[in-house]
Structure 1
């Protein structure tokens, strides 16, 4: 379930611009040269520390790529590309993150964090293709954004993030540490978003895909959203540690919502009200999602082993979890009346092994994992009337295999730059046994893909994808000013993955940027961000695409971000 808003009435108010502007003014006064970078409270006890950090981020973005009219003429995708025209502001957003940490004897304590945001680029109205029939079939009733989309895109709004206590005891000579409350864990070795979606940490916590789509190349761990849970870790010996996790809450991924600038399809996910099907079928209304139980469904165990002879760390993992990405069901509930629901499967088992090792100054990571009874790719499904029981998806489910290898390194000073950091990750996925819903598995050789191929999204036996980042840096270009030029690229190299958002051939994104650090306190980033992909068309509209994010290929935008912590 979504975290509660920090406030209610004022967060929904139409005077939100004035509120955000006042907040920004107060914060900028705080950031005057005499301001401190963080609040360190004098508790009067050397064993007790209290720290309060606040991060202010302002983002301005402008659409610089012209609309692809074939995407704009596609009934499931017109609203995203028509939400803003070329040259319009697609983000005018202020974010504030506040973090409070209390620590006693460096072993016990608590942490609380909260976030707030406001984006003046979004108003209350959605937009569609102005020509018939599109203008009369919006996914938002009366072309008004739903309360959900209004909250998470325009605001002003906020939410609690971390809220946990931690502590430890020694059992004999074994130190045991635990956390209880809302926090996140990240197991395995994956680096980028595609690695996470095919890795051991998949669905360990929900990801903020809304943020991930807007910032290609961001590390996967930065996208993790905390959930209520109990986690423990014990250092059994000098070379062996064990960890456990028990979830007390379930929450789906946060998605780029339909009808917003980076929403690839109009009907997905939790924001839109409906989707037009065809005449005479009319609209399918969005129904309530079928979600797993909040607790008792998820947990995991891991062990990490670092013997001297290995000169690295090996990990073994087992997790039982509920999916946080949905399958979509279309249900005929009466003559001319349809409904679609998001169904989240439970009772998935994951087994994994990882290895991390430094070789020649380069940090290597690798994983292999197996998912039992996981949801497989499907089209929007037609089923009998009635919503499936919690976690009981009647779509295709089966076994999948996943692997990745990555490397992180640093390039020393050259004639071109002072230093450079780089990272690369290669991911692989394959499907094994299809355990149920074979007639709905959207894969080559199965009924839904008869007469179709991988360029229309059909799953192939194997998938390979890659992610790259390279960031050269120049220090003290001017007194107190460092420069960097981050570059990222992610793309599917071969085939289509068997799971939702697992990856598609030719589908990806890239960013080119320039970063400025001022006195290591103020950060400015200018980036161009765009998407790539392949689709088929009839000369007027898209008829099929290899991955839904292909429908973002006309959404190139220029983004300027300012960030500081105080």
Structure 2
């Protein structure tokens, strides 16, 4: 996954980076300007700054009060027929509908009061940066606030209340054998590549929080979770930057907890206990415990449910990467090459099975499997042409772990083959098969005023002071479609975001930022869509937003997101929502 280079939550420039090359070139300045124009990266106007001896100290804090409301009604096609609201009678939808059933149309499903604080101290060539977040959600902190299924303790600890340290690293510039070297050591985000909106590209170093990826214009960088690592960067010759990192600890991507509004499944996220067969399967199956009244442990004993067992997690070591970035004066283009070895942060579903002469072969448990030792080779380019900043991000992953559509049948088959005569064998499926994967991302950023040759007339007609347009296309390709997988070998989509600004509204210092973002998966459902949320054929999403900013201190915003098209595979088509926020930065 990838986005603007920079520490998470910042405008794209990393603390502690002072060398020339990619981090000081035109594309970074354009990206920083885009975020400011969109009202996303303004620094607090009255941040605390002071001297501590010879050191410079700054403390920035932003507090936000928010509310999120469901604006669409449920669609019965996504609700199991074991519930009065449902009409899906496939026997599996019982495992996908808790989040849908927990909230009615116009329910407030989240109302957090949150804060994020940043601390930095710097003296000479060295410094320390830390960032922490904290929130309390008045709705989701109450596990019984839902309409149907209570949130679990695991869910509440994730979405109800939480305080945690995010970034915490030292940085500096040192001289090694006459060569200036920049380093960062500690908990941090490392964003390689050129992607703005799409994941699955070059920057696979960090895990992310999927709850931050809501809305058509949601940016990948806002969701990254820092990890402990050492990063070094040096310039052996003019216009060439070489970087390397080693990650000391693996951490997983944080999925939507079961039963929360955005949760599209009940069997894998935090709070999951098992998978349950609906009545359509027969043999006494009754569906999930909330609908049937038959508790999970009883269903596991009766064989009408499969328990979730311990995760298969990789080791903390073995994750590292190198990159080389060269700025071509002749082409006025920055070119990059990358290699990474990483462990998957998003799980596939593995399963275990057993056989006996009476009941045959059947699953006895399933687990979240985080596949280790994935290789990634990448290339990037960025340049400016006709005042448009372009970026190219190409990632090739040989022997990539493609999730199986049905690991349970695969496990039962393995158990049968272990003893096809006596029916006493056991077997398992890791939940994936290997195939080569390539993803190409191409984007452009254009920021213009009323006199600009492109869109200047439209900006004048709308009375805006300026407008920023961002567009990104992504193509996901697999060399073939392995047996047992679901989707297409090729999938293409794009995301577009337009933000305008009106300065000095009604003669006041307030600035108004209207915006619209649109996502369209043009063709194809990627083989890894269930794991990476890349492309679902014909899926569409639009977000309308309006933000008012007062001197980068007060911010008031509203947004509405509508999900549509994509057929049955797009479980979000009835999860439209609106958000309202008020923020104060100091």
Answer yes or no: same fold by TM over 0.5.
yes
How far is the alpha carbon of 1:111 from its aligned partner?
Answer: 1.4
Residues 1:551 and 2:571 are matched in the alignment: yes
Report 1:178-257 matches (<5 A): 178-192=183-197, 194=198, 196-197=199-200, 199-201=201-203, 203-213=204-214, 215-257=215-257
| Residue of structure 2 equivalent to 1:19 | none
Q: How many residues align?
A: 475
| Cα distance in 1 for residues equivalent to 2:164 and 2:337 | 34
Task: Answer whether contact 1:289 1:343 (CA < 8 A) is retained.
Answer: yes
- SS at 2:403 equivalent: coil
How far is the alpha carbon of 1:36 from its aligned partner?
Answer: 7.7
Q: Which runs of no fewer than 5 residues in structure 2 stay unpaired?
A: 1-43, 80-85, 87-92, 279-283, 286-302, 416-425, 451-459
| Cα distance in 1 for residues equivalent to 2:510 and 2:45 | 19
How far is the alpha carbon of 1:337 from its aligned partner?
Answer: 7.3
| Residue of structure 2 equivalent to 1:484 | 513
Change (3 A) 1:63 1:104: same
Q: Which runs of no fewer than 5 residues in structure 1 stay unpaired?
A: 1-34, 130-142, 443-457, 536-544
| Cα distance in 2 for residues equivalent to 1:39 and 1:286 | 48
1:71 to 31, 56, 78: 78
Report 1:465-480 matches (<5 A): 465-478=493-506, 479-480=508-509
| Cα distance in 1 for residues equivalent to 2:320 and 2:186 | 15
| Residue of structure 2 equivalent to 1:363 | 389
| Cα distance in 2 for residues equivalent to 1:108 and 1:36 | 25
Residues 1:464 and 2:483 are matched in the alignment: no
Change (3 A) 1:387 1:211: farther
Task: Answer whether contact 2:327 2:334 (CA < 8 A) is retained.
Answer: yes
How far is the alpha carbon of 1:367 from its aligned partner?
Answer: 1.9
| Residue of structure 1 equivalent to 2:400 | 374
| Cα distance in 2 for residues equivalent to 1:102 and 1:277 | 56
| Cα distance in 1 for residues equivalent to 2:308 and 2:115 | 32
| Residue of structure 2 equivalent to 1:14 | none
* Residue deviations 1:435-470 (CA, integer Å, cap 9, x gap): xxx443x1xxxxxxxxxxxxxxx3212111101100
Task: Answer whether contact 2:403 2:431 (CA < 8 A) is retained.
Answer: no
| Residue of structure 1 equivalent to 2:313 | 291
- SS at 1:186 equivalent: coil
Change (3 A) 1:365 1:395: same
Residues 1:531 and 2:538 are matched in the alignment: no
Task: Answer whether contact 1:145 1:272 (CA < 8 A) is retained.
Answer: no
Change (3 A) 1:151 1:412: same
Task: Answer whether contact 1:177 1:233 (CA < 8 A) is retained.
Answer: yes
Residues 1:160 and 2:165 are matched in the alignment: yes
- SS at 1:210 equivalent: helix
Task: Answer whether contact 1:323 1:345 (CA < 8 A) is retained.
Answer: yes
| Cα distance in 1 for residues equivalent to 2:169 and 2:354 | 44
| Cα distance in 2 for residues equivalent to 1:204 and 1:401 | 17
Residues 1:176 and 2:181 are matched in the alignment: yes
- SS at 1:121 equivalent: coil
| Residue of structure 2 equivalent to 1:563 | 583
* Residue deviations 1:378-407 (CA, integer Å, cap 9, x gap): 22412268897xxx9452122111111100
Tell me the TM-score normalized by structure 2: 0.77
How far is the alpha carbon of 1:512 from its aligned partner?
Answer: 0.3
* Residue deviations 1:404-446 (CA, integer Å, cap 9, x gap): 1100011312231111101000101111267xxx443x1xxxx
| Cα distance in 2 for residues equivalent to 1:496 and 1:552 | 15
| Residue of structure 2 equivalent to 1:60 | 67
Task: Answer whether contact 1:78 1:128 (CA < 8 A) is retained.
Answer: no
| Residue of structure 2 equivalent to 1:38 | 47
Task: Answer whether contact 2:257 2:269 (CA < 8 A) is retained.
Answer: yes
How far is the alpha carbon of 1:530 from its aligned partner?
Answer: 2.4
| Cα distance in 2 for residues equivalent to 1:256 and 1:370 | 28
How far is the alpha carbon of 1:181 from its aligned partner?
Answer: 0.9
How far is the alpha carbon of 1:59 from its aligned partner?
Answer: 1.0
- SS at 2:277 equivalent: strand
Change (3 A) 1:56 1:258: same
Residues 1:116 and 2:134 are matched in the alignment: yes
Report 1:323-472 matches (<5 A): 323-332=344-353, 338-382=364-408, 383=411, 393=430, 395-413=432-450, 414-416=460-462, 417-432=464-479, 438-440=482-484, 442=485, 458-472=486-500
Task: Answer whether contact 1:217 1:469 (CA < 8 A) is retained.
Answer: yes
- SS at 1:151 equivalent: helix
Change (3 A) 1:564 1:235: farther
| Cα distance in 1 for residues equivalent to 2:145 and 2:246 | 40
| Cα distance in 2 for residues equivalent to 1:113 and 1:348 | 30
- SS at 2:578 equivalent: strand
- SS at 2:561 equivalent: strand
Change (3 A) 1:406 1:337: closer
Moved over 4 A (4+): 126-129, 333-337, 384-388
1:145 to 143, 151, 159: 151
Change (3 A) 1:76 1:415: same
| Cα distance in 2 for residues equivalent to 1:321 and 1:337 | 30
How far is the alpha carbon of 1:92 from its aligned partner?
Answer: 0.6
| Cα distance in 2 for residues equivalent to 1:58 and 1:128 | 24
| Residue of structure 2 equivalent to 1:27 | none
Residues 1:277 and 2:277 are matched in the alignment: yes
| Cα distance in 2 for residues equivalent to 1:402 and 1:377 | 17
Change (3 A) 1:63 1:128: closer
| Residue of structure 2 equivalent to 1:15 | none
* Residue deviations 1:229-273 (CA, integer Å, cap 9, x gap): 111110222210000011101111111222110111122322222
| Residue of structure 2 equivalent to 1:5 | none
Change (3 A) 1:57 1:380: farther
